[in-house]
């Protein structure tokens, strides 16, 4: 028997609306001076105490600067191949960080699932290098749970500019099935630590519900 999964994702619509916005292509503010700090030590690549965090539950808005106990840190540019980042599915940046003169660039985001370094792509993000030796990221909700953006502890920098004082706390729910919307003939379940819908009859995973097109 077939399962019919209706994808609830509204992102393509938002992208379309954005693409149709006329004229103003130059940002009206510099994200280097208008960002939210994200100091969540569980994002560290060496944090393995739990793997419950899910960034698709966060209402991302605008630009973020990653910190680790107040110190500047970056996203990993390489695959992790192991546990860490307080999540089952680590998100890393498949591409290098930009230089100051590059301005705002777009980078691919890979999802690590099990031993697969780029099991699937999360939506790409924008990144900018800032004067003062730090970066800002325009994070967006990844499709599916549990995925979270990683902070690479080998990049902790002590000579970066101090932060502006906006503080962000992301909301973390303890029920990983809370965000998974399954149909009547499906059931929420886990595959390699990632939650999605399984067919009730054969427990076959429904690929779209795991964020795989």
Ligand X SMILES: *[C@@H]1O[C@H](CO)[C@@H](O)[C@H](O)[C@H]1NC(C)=O
Least separation in angstroms between CB 163 and ligand X? 15
Contact region with ligand X (CB under 6 A), list: 43-51, 80-88, 167-175, 205-213: 43-51
Cβ proximity to ligand X: between 118 and 187 the closer is 118
Which helix (H) or strand (E) element contains residue 16?
Answer: helix 11-20
Nearest to 119 by CA among 141, 97, 138, 146: 146
Three-state SS for 209? helix
Contact pattern for ligand X over residues 1 through 30, marking x by CB under 6 A: ----------------------------x-
Are the C-beta atoms of residues 141 and 125 closer than 8 Å to each other? no
CA dist 32 and 40 (Å) reads 20
198 near ligand X, rule: CB under 6 A: no
Contact region with ligand X (CB under 6 A), list: 14-22, 110-118, 127-135, 200-208: 110-118
CA dist 55 and 32 (Å) reads 22
Residues forming contacts to ligand X in the complex (CB under 6 A) are 29, 34, 44, 46-47, 61-62, 79, 94, 108, 110, 117-118, 153, 156
């Amino acid at each position: 028997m077939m399962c019919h999964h209706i994808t609830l994702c509204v992102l393509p619509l938002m992208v379309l609306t954005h693409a149709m916005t006329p004229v103003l292509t130059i940002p009206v503010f510099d994200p280097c001076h208008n960002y939210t700090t994200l100091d969540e030590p569980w994002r560290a690549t060496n944090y393995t105490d739990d793997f419950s965090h899910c960034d698709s539950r966060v209402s991302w808005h605008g630009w973020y600067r990653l910190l680790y106990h107040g110190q500047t840190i970056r996203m990993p540019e390489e695959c992790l191949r192991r546990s860490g980042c307080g999540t089952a599915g680590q998100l890393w940046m498949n591409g290098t960080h930009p230089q100051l003169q590059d301005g705002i660039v777009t980078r691919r985001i890979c999802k690590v699932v099990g031993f697969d370094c780029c099991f699937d792509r999360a939506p790409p993000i924008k990144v900018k290098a800032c004067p003062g030796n730090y970066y800002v990221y325009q994070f967006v909700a990844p499709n599916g749970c549990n995925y979270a953006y990683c902070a690479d502890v080998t990049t902790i920098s002590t000579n970066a500019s101090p932060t502006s004082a906006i503080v962000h706390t992301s909301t973390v729910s303890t029920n990983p099935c809370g965000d998974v919307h399954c149909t009547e003939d499906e059931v929420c379940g886990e595959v390699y630590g990632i939650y999605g819908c399984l067919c009730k009859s054969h427990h076959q995973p429904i690929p779209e519900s795991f964020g795989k097109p």
